[in-house]
A and B are shown apart, each in its own frame.
Chain A
């Protein structure tokens, strides 16, 4: 008889289903206080120094390239800390064995970091990784790290260090499961950048032996050990439909109503990847990502070149550019913004243009020049617009520079509530659901404890989307959605039913959204939207959309069968 299925929960930090046997990290060696100490203390201290230097060099090598770069650089600096050698030398001096002396020295610093909490506590994992590596060198045992079982597996560990996670790309890992770690930890960040489903902070996972079949849901944060054959099929089915889209080309409902499927891009590398994929262009080009590291404002010529490159790679498709969206949480050093206590409510987005108007004007000049050189289809929109005056001012400025299609982002509740007035001044609007949820529900986007309030299915949020769509329809304007909501295949038909005419998301999400839209007619999307707006809470809204969608699809199946 097969073992019964058991389910445990943690924090879902990177969405997706993964189903595979579990494999544990090669565990680190535990140092032995009773091992014989070295004969010559001076020589032993030197060995510690060399081991730490070798670890620092390893970390620097792995740091070269990849998202983990900054974290690993800090790791290399920690491994090079002369205080570690001194502390280990102290233990060696009182007759302790070498490897154990280093363990004691590093553990004391780990305890200090953990006591400090927050960001520091998460660095304790980095420091433990340094200990494990240096100890493996001192004791001449295999380096702890990623297992290579030779088949797809879910990697289980107490916690992952940046060095571990940087080595994941290219291995057979299909999901991540850790006992420790929080939503802001590097495991979460790296899992998302590698699109690996991940659950962190799941202490019960410690009880799962190597090789246990596991089904991991990185959205719900659940982990099922020994899943039923039915659940496994479901997971495989999801993984298959994710990789093999049933539809192609422009977004259409079953009755050929167009819903443009666009992508969100930031870096030139994003742009190249997205340009090669099946989509209708860019719905959100986050221009600030080109200049995040800058202390001096980017020059006109430099911007023309950067924008031309992106516009050229999307030749024949529309590119929607968002002007610089900086703020105290996403600082562009060259803007020299003041320090603020509530950055989310401070000088952000278009508001920074009141402080540094020249920067926005240079950007508009560069965009128009790039558009003329490439002959691309370009739309330009401003972030964080709150009032009709701001919309009018931005539209006037953009048009005076020669921008043909001008829009605004709707992220602030006031902009949604007064959309009938704001939209008079512009050609289109794009709803940024992540920020609109943050401001509507008064819930910090970075707070994990408030994630239920940031759910894109919150009725208050969807009612604001409906309000914007209503105002836009009366004025004959297009409304798009960018943000988390646009990438949810269950929500896409609802948004289409509300009157949204384009959805912009990370390029890999497009296929599933296109498939979902193609299954329902516009009228059915509208019924779905009406029912969802009436739902009392997000779970009910989802359930309603799911049930109605299934009923519509079943009916369509029956008709085909006749």
Chain B
């Protein structure tokens, strides 16, 4: 099982457009990925509603988890996306 911890790079937080961009990328991944905020149960990364209700703000740390062949590579890509400013 692979995991990545990353800080949210979008100043508006993981809301609206940044969340939509992330969810879209996660839905295209070759294996299921979950995302969690400290102390809360993880949600499916391809669920817009799940991701929005995490309420992750700018600078907050989130944990991405996936299991499978290409898990490392997939998480690498999604983590890089989350660390960028997506509200543009």
Contacts and interface: CB of A to CB of B under 8 A. Distances in A.
Interface of A: 70-71, 73-74, 76-78, 80-84, 109, 112-113, 116, 119-120, 123, 127, 292-295, 328, 331, 333, 339
A275 to B, nearest CB: 27
A109 B27 CA distance: 20
B88 A77 contact: no
A293 B84 CA distance: 13
A9 to B, nearest CB: 30
B48 A80 contact: yes
B49 A119 contact: no
Interface in B47-81: 47-50, 52-53, 55, 58-59
B53 A294 contact: no
A369 to B, nearest CB: 27
B85 A331 contact: yes
Contacts of A293: 88
Candidate in B52, B59, B84 with the most chain A CB atoms within 10 angstroms: B52
Nearest to B50: A83
Main secondary structure of the interface of A (DSSP, over half): helix
Contact of A112 (B24, B46, B53, B59): B53
B88 A78 contact: no
A508 to B, nearest CB: 29
**Size class of the B contact interface (CB-based, 8 Å):** 20 to 34
8 contacts: A73-B20, A74-B17, A78-B48, A80-B27, A83-B47, A83-B49, A112-B49, A113-B49
A328 B11 contact: yes
A357 B50 CA distance: 42
Nearest to A123: B52
B19 interface: yes
B49 A84 contact: yes
Nearest to A294: B88
B85 A74 contact: no
Candidate in B47, B58, B59 with the most chain A CB atoms within 10 angstroms: B47
A82 B46 contact: yes
A82 B28 CA distance: 13
Interface of B: 11, 15-17, 19-20, 23-24, 27, 44, 46-50, 52-53, 55, 58-59, 84-85, 88
A70 B44 contact: no
Nearest to A119: B15
Given A74-B20, A77-B24, A295-B88, A116 B47 contact: no
B48 A77 contact: yes
Given A77-B20, A83-B44, A109-B49, A120 B11 contact: no
A84 B52 CA distance: 14
Nearest to A73: B20
Nearest to B9: A333
Given A82-B46, A83-B49, A113-B53, A73 B85 contact: no
B85 A120 contact: no
A77 B21 CA distance: 9
Contacts of B88: 292-295, 333
Nearest to A336: B85
B47 A82 contact: yes
Nearest to A108: B49
Contacts of B48: 74, 77-78, 80-81
B53 A116 contact: yes
A295 B19 contact: no
B49 A74 contact: no
A292 B17 CA distance: 15
A326 to B, nearest CB: 11
A346 to B, nearest CB: 13
A344 to B, nearest CB: 14
A78 B49 contact: yes
A333 B53 contact: no
Given A77-B23, A331-B11, A295 B85 contact: yes
Contacts of A73: 16-17, 20
Contacts of A123: 16, 52
Contacts of A76: 20
A81 B85 contact: no
B24 to A, nearest CB: 7
